[in-house]
A and B are shown apart, each in its own frame.
Chain A
Amino acid sequence: MQAVLPSSTGVIDGGVVALAADTTFDELRWVRRAQQADSSAFEKLYRANVDRVYGLCLRMTGNRSEAEDCTQDAFIQAWNSLDKFRGDSAFGTWMHRVAVNVVLGRMRKSRREQDRIRAVSEVAPVRQTIADDGELRDLEGAINELPSGARHVFVLHAVYGYSHGETGDMLGIAEGTSKAQLNRARRLLKQQLEAEEK
């Protein structure tokens, strides 16, 4: 059983290390081993974090297969840049950032491809919802219909609770832009949900 520790210190591999909030000793030990190219330790990190990473990718892309690809890419990128993870934040938080970057990178690329495809025929992206609850399903469907800029801000800020500063940092936009996008998202969601009620 993993004990979730508050921000404190611990001993890993004979050295005293600082543990970020929500980081477990096991997790940090896996990170250390994975940093030494131990793929079995990285698999443990994957198992412990995949649902959160996949959930984020799914909210941001609104598409299961795209979310799966993003999740795979995110873990591959994390493996390749594990040496940059210093343990200042929890591994899950770091993975979130990696995943956001992967989603944005893939969307930029697919946008270019979609622009090319749309020149031939109008193709609407397939949206899928995952929530069981009816109200949540409606909200999820409405979020998926948001323009990508507003959707990303809404997902990171309103769903995952990142501050506007953190959201702007992850998305590469100003804090003020994040706030403006959130207001836009609220307005559009309101219109959409009210229209569905009628």
Chain B
Amino acid sequence: MNGKDDRKFDDDLLERAAKLAAPVAPERDLWPGIEQAITVPRKPRRSAWNGAWAQAAAVILLVGGSSGLTYLTMSGARNAVVPTAAEAPVLVFEQASANFGSQYTLGPDFQDARSDLVEKFEQRIENLSPEARVEVLANIETIRKAIDDINRALSREPDNVLLQELLINTYRDELSMMIEVDGITGAAMRRGDI
């Protein structure tokens, strides 16, 4: 076969090949299978953002709480303790969340120590100046909100060591603040208390 024949074969081949491009209907309707696949509810993606956001929020709240504590300590030392009528919002102390994420609980020793401290704190806070009392209540509320936020984040990520540490530190901050107010020393929380 010479070059001319080759070219003729190629032309013929391409001409015939182009005819094969015609659409072909499948023998069965494929839509039901496709529809089933695309209408299955998509598994919601677990966003890392929520956890990160909770952590960031908790850190911000903690920093705010710590700053408040420092301010309180410094201003409390300057202010004489003057009993006054309660003008500050009433602080409702709820039992600390017994959850530590979804897998841990606070130890009974810590719960007892904290209950005692809360009781004393409630008594002593009435002796603070109105400004100091408002400040303390606001800060303690901030810290407790941080505890709730971290607990919620931990329920989604129970094994997150960073969150666990953050929760312990936040409880420590709460205790420290109450201790500062109450003038009590000692009774610090440790990881072994959990």
A interface residues, Cβ below 8 angstroms from B: 39, 42-43, 46-47, 50-52, 54-55, 58-59, 64, 67-68, 71-72, 75-76, 79-80, 130-131, 133, 135-136, 139-140, 143, 154, 158-161, 186, 189-190
A135 near B38: Cβ-Cβ < 8 Å: no
Residue of A nearest to B20 (CB): A159
Chain B contact patch, size range = 20 to 34
A46:B21 contact, CB within 8 angstroms: no
Chain B residues proximal to chain A, CB less than 8 Å: 9-10, 13-14, 16-28, 30-31, 33-35, 37-39
How close is B188's CB to chain A, nearest CB, in angstroms? 54
Verify A75–B34 contact, CB threshold 8 A: yes
CA distance A42 to B31 in the complex (A): 10
Contact A51 B23, beta carbon cutoff 8 Å: yes
Asked if B26 and A161 make an inter-chain contact with CB atoms under 8 angstroms apart, the answer reads no
Residues of B within 8 A of A189 (CB): 13
| Residues of A with C-beta under 8 A to B30 | 46, 50, 54, 68, 71-72, 75
A-B contact count (CB 8 A): 82
What secondary structure prevails in chain A residues at the interface with B? Answer: helix
When A75-B34, A76-B37 are in contact, do A159 and B26 touch as well, CB less than 8 Å? no
A-B contacts, 24 of them at CB < 8 A, read A39-B35, A46-B31, A47-B31, A50-B31, A54-B24, A55-B22, A67-B26, A68-B28, A71-B26, A71-B30, A72-B37, A75-B30, A130-B24, A131-B20, A139-B16, A140-B20, A158-B13, A158-B18, A159-B20, A159-B21, A160-B21, A189-B13, A190-B9, A190-B13
Q: Are B24 and A161 in touch, CB under 8 angstroms?
A: no
Give chain B residues whose Cβ lies under 8 Å from the Cβ of A186.
10, 13
